[in-house]
């Protein structure tokens, strides 16, 4: 069965520090992978997506993610975190038009 694992429930980083959020998936075929961000009271907003090609993808707000097939991972990174990045982040796999989401990682940003 398809599954998405985000092993970190909460992460706290200082403003200006680098960030990496982990995502591992279990999927039989070449996956379509996504990262979404959800702020309180807001809908899910797409940060970036991977379909094929270059395994390092750039997204909005300075985020990037790297697809590593050998590790079944699609980790999200940002070199310098801003206070406005505090939110919950979800990794998702597309399986024939159904999205399977991880349980999310809540990011806190210290001043």
CA distance 61 to 24: 22
d(CA 26, CA 84): 31
In angstroms, give the least distance from the CB of 70 to another protein.
23
Nearest of 38, 20, 12 to residue 92 by alpha carbon: 38
C-beta of 17: minimal distance to another protein in Å?
25
Helices (H), the chain: none
Residue 67 C-beta: closest distance to another protein, Å: 15
Which residues form the interface with another protein (CB under 8 A)? 4, 6, 9, 32, 34, 36, 41-46, 49, 51, 90, 92, 94, 97-104
Q: Which residue number, 13 or 101, has a Cβ lying nearer to another protein?
A: 101
C-beta of residue 105 within 8 angstroms of C-beta of residue 11: yes
Pick between residue 84 and residue 103 the one whose CB is nearest to another protein.
Answer: 103
């Amino acid at each position: 069965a398809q599954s998405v694992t985000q092993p970190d429930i909460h992460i706290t980083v200082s403003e200006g520090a680098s960030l990496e959020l982990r995502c591992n998936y279990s999927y039989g075929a070449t996956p379509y992978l996504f990262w979404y961000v959800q702020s309180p009271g807001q809908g899910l907003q797409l940060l970036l997506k991977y379909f094929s090609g270059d395994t390092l993808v750039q997204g909005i707000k300075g985020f990037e993610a790297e697809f590593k097939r050998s590790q079944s991972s699609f980790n999200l990174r940002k070199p310098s975190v801003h206070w406005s990045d505090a939110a919950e982040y979800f990794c998702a796999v597309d399986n024939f038009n159904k999205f399977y989401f991880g349980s999310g990682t809540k990011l806190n940003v210290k001043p």
